[in-house]
Amino acid sequence: MSVSSVNFSVTDGVAHVELNRPDAGNAINPSMAEELSNAARQCDTRSDIRAVLFSAKGKMFSVGGDLQFMRAQEQNIGDALKQMADVLHRAISYFARMDAPMVAAIEGTAAGAGFSLALMGDIVVAEPRAKFTMAYTASGLSPDGGSTYALPRLIGMRRAQELTLTNRVLSAEEAAEWGLITQVSEEGKALETARAICEKLASGSLAANADAKRLLRTSLDNTLETHLEIEGRCIAKNADQDGREGIAAFFEKRPPKFS
């Protein structure tokens, strides 16, 4: 019986996406990339998903691309990697643009494309033993997975250059100090902490969270005046939707019941 490379489930509005190749360090091969893309598409399109929990089974979050698979491609390696990257990038695009916020729980090492996936979380929680490294150029490869898009925006160009070109390994504490991740959990508590955050997000306004995500993602691409206009339109739209309930709940001293 074949085993899924990615586990996917939805409970009480929270989708759990879990990488499931622990014996291979959750290395990404074509099968995993395809399953991840399918899971990401559901997170993007299903109306019952209000938050996404992203994690990995085993001691490693992900060592990145599957070098065993790459080696087996021999002269076809370029075409094989382009195909796999296209599928992986489709998954990352779904995750970036979906309405639901994503919380990533990082246990162990996130390297290469695993590092890229970790960067996609809107909130990233890591265990103290977690480590982060780009690793691409050490294998004679250039980065993929959107890492060269995310890194300069998160930590600035100079630090992005250092991580990408030297393959420096960051500890969880260093990653938090640099702004790569949101917080370091207690030992053994990353998944539990991330799940609690997801549950809180799932009880919030999906529409407001979705617009907040989009506003942050596009902020560096717009002029100030353009962005102010978009902000104004978004807050007016949300005021007519969940905003009325949120304001009423505040004055009535009760939890809001968002649509």
177 plus 221 within the same structural domain = no
Tell me, what's the pLDDT at 2? 57
Tell me, what's the pLDDT at 3? 72
Both tokens of residue 146? 């959107």
Instruction: Kindly report, residue by residue over 173-227, the tens digit of the pLDDT.
Output: 999 999 999 999 999 999 999 999 999 999 999 999 999 999 999 999 999 999 9
**6-11 vs 14-19, strand pairing mode:** antiparallel
Instruction: Kindly report, residue by residue over 50-71, the tens digit of the pLDDT.
Output: 999 999 999 999 999 999 999 9
| pTM recorded for the entire structure | 0.93
Q: What angle do CA 125, 138, 63 make, to 5 degrees?
A: 35
Give the H/E segment covering residue 55.
Answer: strand 51-56
31 plus 95 within the same structural domain = yes
Tell me, what's the pLDDT at 211? 97
Q: Mean pLDDT across the stretch 39-53? A: 97
Please tell me the total count of domains within the chain.
Answer: 2
Residue 233 lies inside a defined structural domain of this protein:
yes
In the structure, what pLDDT confidence band is assigned to residue 1 with cuts at 50, 70 and 90?
very low
Tell me, what's the pLDDT at 25? 97
Domain that residue 24 falls in: 6-202
19 has pLDDT over 60: yes
Residue 49 lies inside a defined structural domain of this protein:
yes
Instruction: Kindly report, residue by residue over 121-152, the tens digit of the pLDDT.
Output: 999 999 999 999 999 999 999 999 999 999 99
Both tokens of residue 213? 């995500």
236 has pLDDT over 80: yes
Q: What angle do CA 193, 199, 204 make, to 5 degrees?
A: 130
Query: How does the average pLDDT of the chain come out, rounded?
Result: 96
Percent with pLDDT over 70 in the chain: 99
Residue 154 lies inside a defined structural domain of this protein:
yes
159 plus 68 within the same structural domain = yes
152 plus 99 within the same structural domain = yes
